[in-house]
Structure 1
Amino acid sequence: MAYCPSLISLQCSMVLICVSIFSSTIFASTDPPLTLDYYRSTCPTVFEIVKKEMECQVLSDPRNAAFIVRLHFHDCFVQGCDGSILLDDTISLQGEKKALANVNSLQGYGIIDRIKNKLESECPGIVSCADILTIAARDAVILVGGPDWDVPVGRKDSTTASYDLASENLPSANEDLLSIISKFLYQGLSVTDMVALAGAHTIGMARCENFRARIYGDFEATSGTNPLSESYLSNLKSICPATGSGDNNITAMDYVTPNLFDNSFYHVLLRGEGLLNSDQEMYSSIFGIETKKLVQRYAEDPVAFFNQFSDSMVKMGNIANSDSFVTGEVRKNCRFVNT
């Protein structure tokens, strides 16, 4: 009997995924539990202050919404949602900002700084940077038309960061579907969570460096030869040359409604026009039986997408750094641990 290498590879991948599910329980627990009223007596205006500042920031530039959501995602996938992504490098601490997955893709640190300054004036030493980022991500989504959800709070800020985990844990633009699924499962997030959370790309931008391989690779194979897709591909190639300069040129991952949080992103995938390989794989990969159905569902039913996105954001926001509950703190400045 002949063995199919791809099948063997799939079986190996699924074994690794099962191991990851077991390991993920360490990171997905929230002990002590987060609560909705954690700041009720110590800083009752926290949600109002974050909301007002986010309103100003998104009004000035709608892209700020995507910046904050991405920051939150990159924070939670490394040591849990502990504000470690916000730490600057120092002589004694190597932060995560310069890791390959972060160095050219993350912005919005100044927004968190401004919110933190306002909260330190209102209720000093009370609200963690990790909570600020989590609340701000929810408000960012709402302000560009997305769903609302309750944000449990009570996180502590980590006094450590992990440059290595930032490179290992975060999915990359050209990664294959099974690898990305395993990274989500490791965090205690399901395939459904993965497809729903990817919907945040409806307001995201991508750098040429991250979609060059896709548009000069299998884009035509997934999108077909219809005139509209050909025109779109031609435009992408003008933004992102095959060689030479242009690595930092950007374009929207949802070119239809780039500043509106809706389900248009999934329609883009149905047309085979996903900008990132990691996104299009959810619909086009031969291993994407479950993910394909979910993409189709969220394209057909925006309410289902909004509901699942809300649930998945809460679930992701509950990924805990157990150490931070013991040794964590409330940073006075989100960029540095307290002295």
Structure 2
Amino acid sequence: MTAASRARLLVELGRFDQAEAELRLGLLNRPGDPDMLALLAAVLRLDGRHGDALAAAEAAIEAGPGSAGAHAERAENLIALSRTREAVEAASEAARLRPAEPEVHRVLARAHAAGRDFGRARAAARQALAFDPRSVPSLLTLAEVERVAGRRRAAARATRAALAEDPEHPGGRWLIALLNAERLHVGEAMRGLRDLAVDHPARLRAEALAWPILGVLAGLRRGLAVGVPLTLAVRLATPWWSLAGLFAQGIALVVAVVMLTFTARVLLPAGRMPWRCLALLPRRLVVTELVAAGVSVPLLVWYAMSARWLPLALAVAAVSALIISGAFRMRVTSLNSR
């Protein structure tokens, strides 16, 4: 068995560090091998090390400029690094070099989707499907393009077509759970994620299973970041507008009711699993967000009922803490995933 074969087997088992070691050992005997360097780039990418993976892909291109796989790997990492224009160029070169290879068209579709050019992304995904209309990876690529484009029904159709070919495919099951989550079908989404976690425990991070809590925090952050300053701004207009105070109280009450309804709609069907996963996240920051969000809404209700300055001032402080801690948590999570 070759070093590349052993590395591929280790990747299937989720042992990325061992796969990397096998490939680096193989490269000692075959330095500058573009295929092995491209495979190393793929292993590093799957391990979340996109900077290192990009360097390996570029080394593969330097060793073999005509390697479509190396250009495709470079494109994948440029997508992950949000360098979408370069990603499209790299994926287009891969498609030019190997036009009869469905995978390069799938990469090109993902690159165009990352650049929000959904027409070309859809065309590239359909070009991949033209080689095999029943290809699960190509169907899921089309589904992901449609999901990012906001066409959830089309995304669901393509995902169901993929699962009809392979009912246990983890990518298809993940995408169905994601679509259910986006439509706030929380119970169905959590059941799908729980089953996927049982069958493929290495596939899901804690963030995936804790998404109801993180999603609620994101929604509260956005809603309160608009609602509380708006309430304050209207209240400050009282000297010039006699009804401003009453309107500010009304805005505060509406924002509080909407936030409470949204929170209940997501968290009640989610069950206990998201809360169990909180221990695997940056706990202090998440707890700070939960406390800040949990305090902000009652403060808005207090202000709506009393029209006093104190609860409104405290709500401003709580929302500021929510926004700051949320930004820090996302930064920490991003650094930990690299």
**TM-score for both structures, normalised by structure 2:** 0.29
**Higher Rg:** 2
Higher relative contact order (CA 8 A, sep 6+): 1
Q: Which has the higher helix share?
A: 2
